[in-house]
């Protein structure tokens, strides 16, 4: 199959098996950005194109821009950590299984990161994405940016992937605690965000009808114009 793509696909053999290898700098890559994707994830090409445009805007180039947000909580006094999937409201990292980042971050992770972090990741066979998020947030002080795709993401890893292990989330919490406590001097570099980016669509607007205004007010449990007019405010002088 690869023979059909020989002018567009390069297979880079590695001398040893390590999750850290996914961030090895590649000398043939001369672009400002690099897209990293797990081999068991499919992203719609239109969503991919939009995500790249998000990365190109303003200061977003300093951030991880991707599709799988996660949230953590770190207690600096007890070093306790809670790590979970970000279902709503806030997130503090974006998984590297689908992300755009500066190409130079690959060099920073591979060549400048403490070797003990690499060794810990090889020991656990996990958490390289957490370390990468901490590095990116810590270097420029830029929060991760979650992009909400408009089409389905197909993730084949949800069936037999590493994240289906019952101990997975607990192990991830231990990774966060270990990294922050031992390699970031107890100072959490991850930044919490509540911003998600979606493609702009013109809002649907319906022509209003004044005779239906009471129905609208009832829906929000607000007083009608007549009720508001009949209401009076009573004030009682404060006793001396």
By annotation, the residues acting in catalysis are: 129
For the CA atoms of 202, 208, 212, 214, what is the dihedral angle to 10 degrees? 80
**Burial state string for 115-142 with b = 16 or more CB within 10 A and e = fewer than 16:** eebbebbeeeebbbbbbbbbbbbeeeeb
Token pair recorded at residue 53: 């445009």
**Structural contact between residues 139 and 145, judged by C-beta atoms closer than 8 angstroms:** no
- Separation CA 62–CA 33 (nearest Å): 10
Phi/psi of residue 121, nearest 5 degrees: -65, -40
- Separation CA 92–CA 136 (nearest Å): 12
- Separation CA 39–CA 35 (nearest Å): 12
């Amino acid at each position: 199959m690869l023979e059909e793509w020989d002018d567009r696909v390069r297979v880079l053999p590695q001398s040893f098996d390590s999750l850290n290898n996914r961030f090895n700098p590649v000398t043939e890559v001369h672009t400002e950005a690099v897209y990293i994707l797990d081999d068991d994830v499919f992203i719609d090409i239109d969503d991919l194109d939009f995500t790249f445009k998000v990365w190109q805007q303003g200061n977003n180039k300093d951030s991880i821009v991707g599709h799988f947000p996660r949230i953590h909580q770190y207690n600096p006094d007890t070093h306790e950590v809670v790590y979970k999937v970000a279902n709503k409201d806030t997130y503090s990292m974006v998984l590297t299984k689908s992300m755009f980042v500066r190409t130079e971050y690959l060099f920073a992770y591979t060549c400048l990161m403490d070797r003990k972090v690499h060794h810990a990741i090889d020991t656990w066979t996990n958490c390289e994405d957490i370390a990468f998020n901490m590095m990116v947030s810590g270097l420029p002080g830029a929060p991760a940016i979650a992009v909400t795709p408009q089409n389905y993401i197909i993730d084949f890893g949800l069936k037999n992937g590493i994240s289906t292990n019952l101990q997975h989330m607990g192990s991830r919490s231990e990774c966060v605690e270990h990294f922050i406590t031992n390699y970031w001097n107890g100072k959490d570099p991850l930044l919490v965000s509540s911003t998600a980016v979606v493609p702009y669509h013109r809002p649907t607007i319906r022509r209003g009808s004044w005779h239906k205004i009471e129905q609208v007010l009832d829906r929000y449990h607000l007083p009608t114009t007549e009720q508001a007019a009949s209401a009076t405010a009573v004030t009682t002088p404060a006793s001396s």
